[in-house]
């Protein structure tokens, strides 16, 4: 993947509520996010804590009731904002639902074509995105999306968003109901994206994968920010330990058990093995 | 969610508690009587009866209006065609059209008849849960089973279809969001372009629905559903004195309506 200059993200005082039978149910209350370009943020919280809502507000699919989303330093009322919004990619929970074309290649090409790219650019972006997610076009381009396995479908849907070459990528529970091998492949894709410079927001229940992938942390509970900032094992780890439905990453807990300094807990199994050898 | 035609308004009024079958029979009988009678006096009797039933149900009037609004065009069209083409002594002529008092009278009568029909139908659908209604219809359709019509199975199909409408709406919304995030545009262009723009939504929705139908069929078989076997019910329909009163009142209203 070619290097991308990531987009910075700042959310200020975001509030949003859903309406059920005429009664507003608050989903987010005064949520602030500060994410410099090229960094990756883990969005953690129990089900219903507002993670998906936050991602959809960032992408602009819903308008916040209070507060605003600032992209690359541009406020929503500035002229280039719509263009910046188009450079935000979002991958929904179970994105395989969005597949509709008659070939894998055509499905991935839908997004970049809608952006009005010229055909050569589309071809390059699609081939690159398919290769990145481990579905090499020479093998998969002509396959029917619904003939692929569940894990392949999910990676194809991810490629469909990557082909639009987002500078800020929002991933909503990308690892749910995947087998371990597919999970590993998808984690590898994420870390490649991260290395390429894309700004990443990862909403997930899988605190261990988030720990290997993310620099920063935002913990939501019932729509409020419980902890945020750089994800070091000590400071923000306390929020994870004190929230009943969350837990610390395995490697941090292991370091604590071993009587070692949890602040220096390794990020990956390889680092852990190295340190313990 | 916006109330639509035939939407249920949960409540605990006298009308809500009536048996679905009794309500269905009553409303059907009134509807038939409406078309047997062509005087304003008869119409007024049925209109008052339907209005009283609606008020007893405690459903806000706006719910009727929202269900009725889409039908306004139909009624306006009926009114116009009758006004312009009904025979009679013209009191006013314009181009090829003749306006007569008879035409005006007939057009108003037909429009009011439709209004009363929709009002009576609304009382049934607004106060009867869809499940109770399909159960009631299945019961009423039982004689058809002698003609090998699978009434229970048809009722179950309707029930399942109703059950999945909200689910499908949620999924439709999700798919539309995902495609919009990929640059799909559902609100611009002419009808053909808009129709084409819906393909990325309709295809996944169909695939999902078929997959869900397969899974549901398997799950039902795993829980011993067998077509053609009489099933027991969690909420058995039962008729009590209030239903007898309803049917008696209906008979009285129809008698008065047909005589006056």
Mean pLDDT of the region A137-144 = 94
Give the minimum alpha-carbon distance from A25 to chain B in angstroms, rounded to a whole number: 15
What stretch of H or E contains B28? helix B20-36
Which regions of chain B does DSSP assign to beta strands (E)? 90-94, 97-100
Give domain status of residue B232, yes or no.
Answer: no
Residues B26, B133 share a domain = yes
Give domain status of residue B179, yes or no.
Answer: yes
Residue B113: Cβ-neighbour burial (10 angstroms; 0-12, 13-18, 19+): buried
Residues B126, B42 share a domain = yes
Give the minimum alpha-carbon distance from B9 to chain A in angstroms, rounded to a whole number: 12
| Residue A29 near chain B (CB below 8 Å) | no
Task: Give CB contacts under 8 A, 24+ apart, made by B190-199.
Answer: B199/A100
Residues B247, B155 share a domain = no
| Residue A18 near chain B (CB below 8 Å) | no
Residues B133, B81 share a domain = yes
Instruction: Compute CA A249 distance to the chain's CA centroid, rounded to the nearest angstrom.
Output: 18
Q: Give me the number of domains chain A comprises.
A: 1
Give domain status of residue A60, yes or no.
Answer: yes
Residues B201, B242 share a domain = no
In this structure, the number of other CB atoms found within 10 A of the CB of residue B132 comes to: 19
The residue in chain A having the minimum alpha-carbon distance to the alpha carbon of residue B177 is A61
- Is the pLDDT confidence value at B189 over 80? no
Residues B127, B72 share a domain = yes
Give the domain range for residue A46. 1-87+199-277
Q: Give me the number of domains chain B comprises.
A: 2
Give domain status of residue B79, yes or no.
Answer: yes
> For residues B239 and A269, what is the distance between their CA atoms, to the nearest angstrom?
69
Instruction: For chain A, give the secondary structure using H, E and C.
Output: CCCCCCCCEEEEEEEEEEEECCEEEEEEEEEEEEECCCCEEEEECCCCCCHHHHHHHHHCCCCCCEEEEEECCECCCCCCHHHHHHCEEEECCCHHHHCCCCCHHHHHHHHHHHCCCCHHHHHHHHHHHHHHCCCCHHHHCCCCHHHCCHHHHHHHHHHHHHCCCCCEEEEECCCCCCCHHHHHHHHHHHHHHHHHCCEEEEECCCHHHHHHHCCEEEEEECCEEEEEEECCCCHHHHHHHHCCCCCCCHHHHHHHHCCCCHHHCCCCHHHHHHHHC
Mean pLDDT of the region B122-145 = 86
Give domain status of residue A100, yes or no.
Answer: no
Give domain status of residue A25, yes or no.
Answer: yes
| Residue A61 near chain B (CB below 8 Å) | yes
Interchain pair A98, B203: CB under 8 A = no
The residue in chain B having the minimum alpha-carbon distance to the alpha carbon of residue A22 is B1
Q: CATH number for the domain including A254?
A: 3.40.50.300
Give the per-residue pLDDT at B4.
46
Give domain status of residue A21, yes or no.
Answer: yes
Sign of CA dihedral B19, B21, B24, B27: negative
Which among A86, A90, A98, A111 is the top mutation candidate for probing chain B, defined by the most B β-carbons within 10 Å of its own β-carbon? A98
| Residue A85 near chain B (CB below 8 Å) | no
Q: Is the Cβ–Cβ distance between A189 and A134 less than 8 Å?
A: yes
pLDDT, tens digit (0-9, with 9 covering 90-100), for B207-250 = 999 989 999 999 998 988 887 777 777 777 778 888 888 898 99
User: A89 — phi, psi (to 5°)?
Assistant: -100, 140
pLDDT, tens digit (0-9, with 9 covering 90-100), for A142-156 = 999 999 998 899 999
pLDDT, tens digit (0-9, with 9 covering 90-100), for A17-46 = 987 766 788 899 999 999 999 999 999 988
Give domain status of residue A191, yes or no.
Answer: no
- Helix A180-196, helix A119-132: angle, nearest 10: 130
> For residues A69 and B213, what is the distance between their CA atoms, to the nearest angstrom?
41
Residues B20, B139 share a domain = yes
Give domain status of residue B192, yes or no.
Answer: yes
The mean of the pLDDT values for chain A is 90
Residues B184, B70 share a domain = no
Residue A92: list chain B partners with CB under 8 A. 174, 177-178, 181
Report which DSSP code applies to B6.
Answer: T
> For residues B200 and B203, what is the distance between their CA atoms, to the nearest angstrom?
6
Residues B86, B184 share a domain = no
Tokens of A211: 């720990």
Give domain status of residue B119, yes or no.
Answer: yes
Residue A115: list chain B partners with CB under 8 A. 183
Give the minimum alpha-carbon distance from B183 to chain A in angstroms, rounded to a whole number: 5
Angle at B209 between CA B205 and CA B214, to 5 degrees: 155
Residues B85, B197 share a domain = no
Residues B138, B91 share a domain = yes
User: A181 — phi, psi (to 5°)?
Assistant: -65, -45
Q: What is the pTM of this model?
A: 0.76
Instruction: Lay out the sheet containing A216-221: strands in order across.
Output: A88-91, A168-172, A199-203, A40-44, A216-221, A224-230
Tokens of A94: 């179970």
> For residues B197 and B187, what is the distance between their CA atoms, to the nearest angstrom?
9
pLDDT, tens digit (0-9, with 9 covering 90-100), for A119-128 = 999 999 999 9
Give the per-residue pLDDT at B2.
45
Interacting residues of A127 by C-beta distance below 8 A, sequence separation 6+: A137
> For residues A233 and A255, what is the distance between their CA atoms, to the nearest angstrom?
10
pLDDT, tens digit (0-9, with 9 covering 90-100), for A200-253 = 999 998 999 999 999 999 999 899 998 888 888 776 677 788 777 888 899 988
Mean pLDDT of the region B87-114 = 80
| Residue A64 near chain B (CB below 8 Å) | no
Angle at A196 between CA A190 and CA A200, to 5 degrees: 50
Give the per-residue pLDDT at B6.
54
Give the domain range for residue B106. 14-143+237-259
Interchain pair B199, A100: CB under 8 A = yes
Which letter, b or e, does each residue of A233-259 get, where b requires 16 or more Cβ atoms within 10 Å of its Cβ?
beebbebbeebeebebbebbbbbbeee
Give the per-residue pLDDT at A51.
93
pLDDT, tens digit (0-9, with 9 covering 90-100), for A168-177 = 999 999 998 8
Report which DSSP code applies to B145.
Answer: G
Give domain status of residue B215, yes or no.
Answer: yes
Residues B156, B55 share a domain = no
> For residues A261 and A275, what is the distance between their CA atoms, to the nearest angstrom?
12
Which regions of B77-168 does DSSP assign to beta strands (E)? 90-94, 97-100
Give domain status of residue A118, yes or no.
Answer: no
Q: Chains A and B: how many Cβ contacts under 8 Å?
A: 49
The residue in chain B having the minimum alpha-carbon distance to the alpha carbon of residue A60 is B181
């Amino acid at each position: 993947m070619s290097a991308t200059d990531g987009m910075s993200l700042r959310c200020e005082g975001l509030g949003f509520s859903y309406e059920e039978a005429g009664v507003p149910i608050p989903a987010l209350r005064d949520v602030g996010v500060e994410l410099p370009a090229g960094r990756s943020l883990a969005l953690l919280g129990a089900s219903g804590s507002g993670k998906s809502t936050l991602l959809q507000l960032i992408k602009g699919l819903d308008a916040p009731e209070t507060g605003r989303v600032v992209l690359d330093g541009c406020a929503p009322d500035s002229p280039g904002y719509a263009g910046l919004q188009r450079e935000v990619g979002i991958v929904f929970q179970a994105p395989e639902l969005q597949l509709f074309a008659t070939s894998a290649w055509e499905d991935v090409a839908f997004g970049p074509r809608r952006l009005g790219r010229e055909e050569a650019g589309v071809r390059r972006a699609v081939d690159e995105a398919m290769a990145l997610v481990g579905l090499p076009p020479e093998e998969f381009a002509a396959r029917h999306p619904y003939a692929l396995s569940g894990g392949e479908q999910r990676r194809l849907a991810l490629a469909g968003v990557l082909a639009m070459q987002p500078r800020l990528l929002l991933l909503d529970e990308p690892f749910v109901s995947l087998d371990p091998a597919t999970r590993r492949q998808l984690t590898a894709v994420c870390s490649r994206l991260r290395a390429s410079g894309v700004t990443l927001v990862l909403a997930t229940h899988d605190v261990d994968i988030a720990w290997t992938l993310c620099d920063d942390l935002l913990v939501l509970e019932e729509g409020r920010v419980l902890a945020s900032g750089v994800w070091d094992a000590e400071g923000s780890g306390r929020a994870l330990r004190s929230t009943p439905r969350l837990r610390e990453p395995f490697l941090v807990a292991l370091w604590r058990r071993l009587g070692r300094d949890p602040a220096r807990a390794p990020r990956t199994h390889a680092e852990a093995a190295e340190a313990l050898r | 969610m916006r109330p639509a035609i035939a939407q249920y308004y949960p409540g605990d009024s006298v009308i809500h508690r009536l048996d679905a079958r009794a309500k269905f029979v009553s409303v059907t009988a009134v509807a038939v009587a409406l078309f047997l009678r062509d005087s304003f006096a008869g119409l007024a009797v049925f209109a008052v009866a339907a209005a009283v039933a609606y008020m007893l149900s405690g459903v806000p009037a706006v719910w009727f209006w929202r269900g009725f609004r889409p039908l306004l065009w139909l009624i306006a069209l009926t009114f116009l065609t009758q006004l312009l083409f009904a025979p009679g002594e013209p009191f006013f002529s314009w181009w090829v059209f003749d306006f007569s008092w008879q035409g005006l009278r007939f057009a108003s009568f037909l429009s009011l008849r439709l209004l009363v029909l929709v009002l009576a139908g609304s009382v049934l659908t607004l106060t009867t849960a869809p499940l109770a209604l399909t159960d009631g219809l299945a019961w009423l359709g039982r004689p058809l089973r002698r003609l090998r019509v699978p009434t229970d199975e048809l009722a179950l199909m309707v029930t399942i279809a109703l059950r999945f409408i909200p689910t499908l709406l949620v999924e439709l919304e999700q798919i539309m969001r995902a495609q919009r995030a990929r640059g799909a545009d559902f609100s611009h262009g002419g009808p053909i372009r808009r129709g084409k723009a819906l393909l990325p939504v309709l295809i996944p929705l169909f695939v999902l629905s078929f997959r869900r139908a397969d899974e549901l069929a398997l799950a039902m078989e795993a829980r011993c559903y067998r077509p053609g076997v009489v099933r027991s019910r969690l909420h058995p329909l039962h008729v009590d004195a209030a239903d007898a009163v309803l049917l008696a009142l209906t008979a009285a209203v129809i008698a008065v309506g047909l005589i006056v």
